Structure 1
Amino acid sequence: MNDILYRAAAYLLIIALGVFLKKVGFFHEQDFRTLAKILLNITLPCAIIYSFSKVDFQISLLTVTGLSLFVGILMMFIAFFTSRMTGKKGNIPFDILNLSGYNIGNFCLPFAQSFLEPLSLLGITLFDMGNAFYCNGGAKAVAEVFKNSIHMVPGTETATKTQLKNSLKTMGRALSRSTPFLVYFGMLIVLILRIPIPRLVLSVTQIGSNANAFTAMLMIGVGFKLNIKKDGISHVIRILFTRYAVTISFAAIAFFCLPFPLQIRQALVLAFLSPIASACPAYTDALEEDYELSSTINSISMLISIGLITAALIVML
């Protein structure tokens, strides 16, 4: 237990270091994008390749990807119904974007690297394959449809359908340009066909994998934002309460009820307790919704998830 607490404290200190270095001017706003590029295109792909190389893959594990896709759709339905129930129909697009999606590669995987076995890492990466579909534009496409329907003028139904098609095309382009997703897909083929990975590649990816957690936590610190307007406090509380009430329930069901090996169930617990997807603020801004509110929710969810994942690791290990 001490090891888990010390590691969680170390992650918090690295995040705090990123916040501090940004405050004193060592890092600037644009440096967040630089760190994100390093993470998404170098250290995270290394972590994926190295973790995939350590397990004996079975086709049945692809059900984890299917589960992830199902959960993403379910979260969007929950966002829709909770917004309607509270009489906040205009919040439906924002809630769909900011309730669905999990920050796996930037947050969950670095945590898992430190504590879980290779099979668990595979489970998390397979979950992220499904997660990638709605984090890379799927949720935005659905949110855009609802936003257009709320403000629809009679006779503009065809334009709305065109916008949906354009949003789905955007998602396809995002996936085709997403280095982590392409590496997931490529490694899946390598494992299915049982193609051996050269030893030199494994040596290089091991080094990159070891740097992934530090890079991820430093990036989170540099991008950390807290800017809550008075009239947005209730919205922040509602989003976060709904999000974690649902995902904690999912985590409990996954661990105690699903017929997967223990390592996969542990992976699912960490995946479900992960923060809101890091791309949410950018997509919220693109949809001309409240970017600052989305960034604040995203940052607070990271702090909550650190506590929940630490507690879950103490219980499970």
Structure 2
Amino acid sequence: MGIVFAQAISFLLVILVGYLFKVGGLLEAKDGQTVSKIILNLTLPATIIIGFNTVEINSTLILLMSLGLLANFFLITFGGFIWRKKNSADQALMIFSQGGYNIGNFTIPFVQGFFPQAIPFIGSFDTGNALMLFGGTPLLADKMTGQNRGTRGIWEVIFQLFRSPSFSAYIAMIILAIVNITIPENVLSVVAIFASGNAFLSMFMIGLYLEFKISRVDLAKVAKLLFTRYALGISLALVFYFLLPLPKIVRLSLVLVALAPIGTVSTINMVIYGNKTSLSGFLSSTSIIISLVLMTIALVFMGI
């Protein structure tokens, strides 16, 4: 229990430091883009490589990939349905606020220090999650809102997926696991140097991106969106933990992803589909803080 609280508090401190650096003028929000490039191209793929090394591909990992797809599909369609009478921008806002999990930049960094054995399961879920974030969700949003802003061909979607070093790392490590190849320890020790900075950089980047300026009207809208997301997220977490006949570590991993914050790609798509940057930024920032609290509580109650 103590290590979970210590991790949560340390993450909050790093986020706060990043935010203070921005407020104090030492760095700007745009500097988060540089940090993001380091994370996405170096530290996160390195963390995935370490987490997946020696993993054996089995039916459980394949099931988790499928759940990553199905959970997104359920949340997206539910969100689109309950706000079906809203204008297209609001409906898209609900769709993207419900579907998509921030796993690479938040969930994996959160657990890698004290619960690294969960990374292969969380990463398997994220493979299905990424398929929806980069392709499936915009296609569904187009159908529901009639905007046709995200319609792309299958090859363009595949190309976009493999432009992500994290997704490519997932696929590469899955292939290595299928053919029963593990990375030697001397190589892994070098990779670990890069992976060690992932958690700090991810939380520091979040601090740089934190946004708390929003109108009162938009604040009421954000409250509805977040209530819906976390009511559904907690419900899914309970189903995953108490009803699925899976090992405890797998169920714990699913609880964490169910409570994960809104995905970065989803936040970008909110703006593409006609919403204000300030609104999507505040929604994403608040989601991160809520998820950190809920994931910490979940881990404590589950005895980690």
The TM-score, its normalising length taken from structure 1, stands at 0.90
Which shows bigger deviation, 298-307 or 164-173? Answer: 164-173
How far the C-alpha of 1:117 sits from its partner, in A, is: 4.4
How far the C-alpha of 1:111 sits from its partner, in A, is: 1.2
Distance 1:178 1:73, change over 3 A: same
Structure 2 portions without partners, runs of 5+ = none
Superposed, which structure 2 residues align to 1:4-43 within 5 Å? 4-43=4-43
In structure 2, the partner of 1:186 is 172
1:3-48 deviation line (CA, Å, top 9, x unaligned):
2112111100000000001111221132111111111110000000
In structure 1, the partner of 2:123 is 125
Letter in 1 for 2:101: Y
2:229 pairs, out of 240, 243, 247, with: 243
C-alpha distance in structure 1 between counterparts of 2:154 and 2:32, whole Å: 27
Q: Does 1:222 find its partner at 2:208?
A: yes
1:199-226 deviation line (CA, Å, top 9, x unaligned):
2321122222221111110010011112
How far the C-alpha of 1:269 sits from its partner, in A, is: 0.7
Contact 1:43 1:208 in 2 (8 A): yes
Contact 2:97 2:229 in 1 (8 A): no
In structure 2, the partner of 1:111 is 110
In structure 1, the partner of 2:287 is 301
C-alpha distance in structure 2 between counterparts of 1:285 and 1:108, whole Å: 23
Q: Output the aligned Cα RMSD.
A: 1.7
Please state whether the residue corresponding to 2:274 is helix, strand or coil: coil
Q: Identify, as 1 or 2, the structure richer in helix.
A: 1
Contact 2:56 2:178 in 1 (8 A): no
C-alpha distance in structure 2 between counterparts of 1:308 and 1:140, whole Å: 28
Contact 1:138 1:168 in 2 (8 A): no
Superposed, which structure 2 residues align to 1:144-183 within 5 Å? 144-148=142-146, 165-166=151-152, 170-183=156-169
Aligned length: 302
How far the C-alpha of 1:170 sits from its partner, in A, is: 4.5
Q: Does 1:210 find its partner at 2:196?
A: yes
Please state whether the residue corresponding to 1:196 is helix, strand or coil: coil
Superposed, which structure 2 residues align to 1:253-264 within 5 Å? 253-264=239-250
How far the C-alpha of 1:231 sits from its partner, in A, is: 1.5
Distance 1:137 1:283, change over 3 A: farther
Contact 1:145 1:164 in 2 (8 A): no
Distance 1:67 1:4, change over 3 A: same
C-alpha distance in structure 1 between counterparts of 2:150 and 2:255, whole Å: 33
Structure 1 portions without partners, runs of 5+ = 150-159
Q: Does 1:313 find its partner at 2:299?
A: yes
Letter in 1 for 2:300: I
Letter in 1 for 2:82: T
**Identity over aligned residues, as a percent?**
34
